[in-house]
Structure 1
Amino acid sequence: MTPPEGPHHDCILVRYGELALKSRRVRARFTAKLKDFIIDAFQAYDLDCVIEDDGGHLFVYSSDLPGATQRLARVFGVVSVSQAARVKVVAMDDMAGEVAAYSRHVLEPGTSFAIRARRTGSHTFTSMELAKEAGSAVWKAFSGDLTVNLSDPDGVVEVEVRGPVAYIYHQRVPGVGGLPPGSQGKVLVPIRERTDVVAGWLLMRRGCAAVPLVPEEDEAAGDLAHALLQWDPLLQVRTLPVEDWDWPVLYREMGRSRSMAIVSGVRGPEVPDLPLDRNRDPVVFFPLVGLDDEAYAQLEKRVMG
């Protein structure tokens, strides 16, 4: 016997991990950046969305939840996402019934399962009590044809109670993590090789807004630059005559684009000698220096895949 068609989901629960470690003021600013980026990126992808923020998670509503989930997993600052069923919190036994009904769509008879419960706010039950009650209801819903395995279950159903509302889900799609786009300023990313794209991606993951720069009439470099668009569809690619491709001109372009630094894809143990500029003190990042071949190959596959 296979489970029936998948469960009904109402929204996407978005976890932003690292932001929660910031002060309340910084967290509010970064969360606002994240929400603004999601809205703008969804418009670029022709996806609709409404975002709710309860101070701990974001909740994204869209008419295309699978498409929205895929895009959210590629947003910098997002740690993981889960499509969830949204239910009103009443009595604990009612909540357990909702979890049991959901589980019939995602668990299979003869397998093992676990219930993970957590809550915020004031309730008449603890997280452990809810997990126990829901686990019992799930077991009964399958007429005892399930076994409990809390350490390594075949399937997991999670319920997160947040004030008067609970969210039930069974999958966590990993996100890219890091910090929201644009929260840490702007960097110029001159691109001629794949390593330059990977280097730019690392700075983007740390919250920098990238300004890709490619030589004019270099289609290969243009294609490489567009690889970054799958992570940030709002990027604007700039071009520069290939004969002008040297450090003094890159310093000038850094100023013109109002970037705070240049990102280089140099991988060797020694960085190149950089000419000084009497008019400014340019900052150049070399984020790939120190990465061994295996670590770099894995990172490139993630960025370019």
Structure 2
Amino acid sequence: MNAVVVRYGEIGTKSRQTRSWFERILVNNIREALISEGIGYKEIVARHGRIIVKTNEAEKATEVLARVFGIVSLSPAMEVEASLEKINKIALRLFRRTKRSLSLERPRFRVTARRITKELPLTSVELQAKVGEYILEHEEAEVDLRNYDIEVGIEVMEGKAYIFTEKVKGWGGLPLGTQGKVVVLLSGPNSALAAFLMMKRGVEVIPFHVKESEEELENVRVLWRKLKRYAYGGKGELVVAEVPKEKMIEKAVELAKDFGAKGIVSGRRAEKLTEALGDALIEENAKCPLPIYYPLIALPKEYLEGVRKRAGL
């Protein structure tokens, strides 16, 4: 593999000017992720609703980039000249490799093709048929468009074809750094999850912890190290203070002003939304000159547990 095809979703719904700005930040975050993880690359290009990362470490890069917010899916791919002969050969090679890895005698497969630009004279449907026929001529297999074991994907753009058999799910959301900064009251798993969900919406977080014991502080440091695996593009580092609990919000506001943050994030959760809870939140916000956000407050427990498990928090 010599490339990674990166797809994004929500960014594509923005105006052209806004989309270009979001793309630039996403490319910078991708670059930071690769550099920080020691993965070499030749070029990163954003065109036609795709970002192409040219690298000889495509599988390793895909694993890292799946943690970059704003990315919906990725595919380690082979980039070749967009001619039917070369597409056929690479598609067959990747099909065989996947067939071996799955230990299948007669796999069911399908070919999906998309011409993002139209240099290739074949239509997408014609290309799918031609590549499928070529695979059937050289391998024991059968076409099944619904219940397939292997999907050979082809995307054609600017004279190049990107061929792959894997599509890795990303987190989606917005690129980190596009939605300002907040201070997160980081104290345990719930507040870490709240920070994660804010990061997923493009917000850079400054983690703030009020130290009560060395053991608790070490647990928070572990949580922050886990969160930093998703913080490509962010510059925040854990800030620790030894102040009375009743001074926590006051100190967080000072920190927010120092960093230019626009709010404070709490990990507060509630099994049930009640009038008493609403009154408590109103009172809490009335005492704070900045808005306090509660990302977990009304989300289903099953959803939060799913996110926590997948994110490793």
Give yes or no for TM over 0.5.
Answer: yes
Q: Does the CA-based 8 Å contact 1:84-1:167 persist in structure 2?
A: yes
What amino acid is aligned across from residue 127 of structure 1 in structure 2?
A: S
Give 5+ residue unaligned stretches, structure 2. none
Tell me the equivalent position of 2:228. Answer: 229
Q: Root-mean-square deviation (CA), in Å? A: 1.9
| Residue matched to 2:191 | 196
Q: Which has the higher helix share?
A: 2
**Percent identical residues:** 28
Structure-2 residue corresponding to 1:253: 255
1:18 CA drift (Å): 1.4
2 CA distance for matches of 1:302 and 1:184?
24
Alpha-carbon separation, structure 2, partners of 1:44 and 1:238: 22
Superposed CA offset, 1:230-254 (max 9, x none): 1115431112224264222222222
Match of 2:71 among 50, 54, 78: 78
Change (3 A) 1:186 1:98: same
Structure 1 contact 214–225 (Cα < 8 Å) conserved: no
Cα distance in structure 2, aligned partners of 1:286 and 1:242: 23
> 2:5 is paired with a residue of what secondary structure?
strand
1:137 aligns with 2:134: yes
Aligned residue number for residue 167 of structure 1: 162
Structure 1 alignment gaps of length 5 or more: 1-8
Of 257, 266, 284 in structure 2, the residue corresponding to residue 274 of structure 1 is 284
TM, length-normalised to structure 2: 0.87
- Deviation string 1:58-83 (CA, Å, 9 cap, x unpaired) is 11123432221111000000111100
Secondary structure, in 3 states, of the residue corresponding to 1:133? Answer: helix
Match of 2:145 among 144, 150, 155: 150
SS of residue in 1 equivalent to 2:253: helix
Aligned to 1:61: 54
Whole-angstrom CA distance in 1 between matches of 2:285 and 2:62: 45
Length-normalised TM-score, structure 1:
0.89
Write the mapping of 1:55-134 to structure 2, written as runs, cut at 5 A: 55-90=48-83, 92-107=84-99, 108-122=104-118, 123-134=120-131
Of the candidates 288, 306, 312, which is equivalent to residue 304 of structure 1?
Answer: 312
Deviation at 1:55?
3.0
Q: Assess if the C-alpha contact under 8 Å between 2:210 and 2:248 holds in 1.
A: no
One-letter code of the match for 2:240? Answer: T
